[in-house]
Structures are given as C-alpha cells and as structure tokens.
Amino acid sequence: MTDFPRPILTVDIVVLAFDGTALHLGTLTRDQAPFKGLPALPGGYVHTDTDQSTEAAARRVLADKTGLADIFCQQLATFSGPTRDPRGWSASVAYYALIPADAFPALRAQARLDWTAPDALPPLAFDHRQIVEAALLRIRAQARYSSLPAWLLGETFTLAELRQCYELLLGEPLNDSAFRRKMGDLDFLTPVTGAKSKSTARPAQLYLQKTRSLALFDRTL
C-alpha cells in the first residue's frame, strides 16, 4: 500500500469551570509560533511513545496544566485539514473537561491557565474558536438529558446550586418545584448528612452523585 505523509496528531482540551455565576474557559497564551501571543486551548502532540490513546494524551495534558487527575473528560470530535495548522496537515482530537467547583478557586489562584468567558471569546489560535463553539453546543445539548452540569459542581452540592448550573447551561430558568421533582424521580443523587447555609436562611440539604459516571436521563431536562 502506498504511504502518505503522516499528519500531525494533537489533542486540544476545552476546559470549563463554573464559579457559581458564570462559565470560564481555560486558555494558555502561546509562547511560540505559530500563533505566538494568542490564547489557545491547552493541548499538544500525542506522544506515540508513551500515550496509550488520545484520551490518555488529553488527560496527561490536563494533569500537566491543572494538576488534576480524575476529571470529567470526554471526547468531543476530531478537527482536521491541511491548513488549520501552518506546520502541515493536522488532526486534533478535541476533548472537553469540566473542573469541579471545589477545585476551581485554587486552580484560578495558580494562574497556570487564563480564564475567559466562553461566550465572548477573544481571537484564538488555530481553529480553537470553532472547537470551543462545538464543545458548548455539545455540553448544552447534554445538559438537557444528563447529569453533566453536576460535574461542574463540587463533590457535594445543593439542589439550588445544581439548578443554577443547569439554568446557566440551558440558558433558561427552570421551574424549581418541577426540578426537585425530576431530580427525585431520576434517582441519581443521594442526600448526604450535612447542610449548607448560604446566609440568614434555612440551610439546604447537600447531595452527591450516586455514580462516578455521567447519568443519562430517559426524559428530557
């Protein structure tokens, strides 16, 4: 079989975090060509000598840039073409990763990543804007029928926090009592002893997710 010049294979990760109010996208400023000086998604070459898969490569990059392991991280899609990277024909397997809220403040203080609003992006290197937009579409779609938003929260959280996170991703307010009913029916949360006082009000019950994987709902929202 004829051989063709082998393409560049990289991974890029759309790192998202929730601070209780808004989403934040983790970026790095490129310190070398191409696109030197522009913000870019964290990513890098797949190390064919050590990486067992592109997902392993993504997790390696993620651990390298955030110090976090065991993060929610799923494959988004592969972006490819002769011109997206000026160095040659390239394919980038894009992943999206969700930072748990209880790890975000420390991560932000470290400042190894810059954090920008994903809805008002500055120009990004490569085709990274397109990748971010695809990730947001996917994440918003998944928020409709899965426990995905819970992965942006800490280990334990209140129903109000969970609802706010859903509302942010879905872009619409949710009916509180219907939301509680559904979360009860869907049976993916366990109440945990302890409560969270916000201020001068009744403290809220804390919950954690029953499984360490994404729960898919059979009905929507």
Per CB under 7 A, which of residues 174..213 are in contact with DNA? 174-178, 180-182, 185, 195, 197-205
The listed partner (DNA, a copy of itself, none) that binds 211, CB under 5 to 8 Å by sort, is none
Contact positions with a copy of itself (CB under 8 A) in 150-189 = none
Cβ atoms of residues 149 and 166 within 8 Å? yes
What's the min distance (Å) between Cβ of 178 and DNA? 4
How far CA 59 is from CA of 16, 30, 45, 103, 124, in Å, comes to 14, 20, 12, 16, 22
Decide whether 81 or 203 has the Cβ nearer to DNA: 203
The residue among 38 and 160 lying less far from a copy of itself, judged by its C-beta, is 38
One-letter amino acid for residue 85 of the chain:
D
Give 140's contacts (C-beta < 8 A, 6+ positions apart). 169, 170, 171
119 binds DNA (CB under 7 A): no
Strand partners, 17: 24, 99
Residue numbers of the site for a copy of itself (CB under 8 A)?
1, 3-9, 32, 45-49, 52-55, 75, 77-78, 80-82, 88-89, 91, 93, 145, 219-220
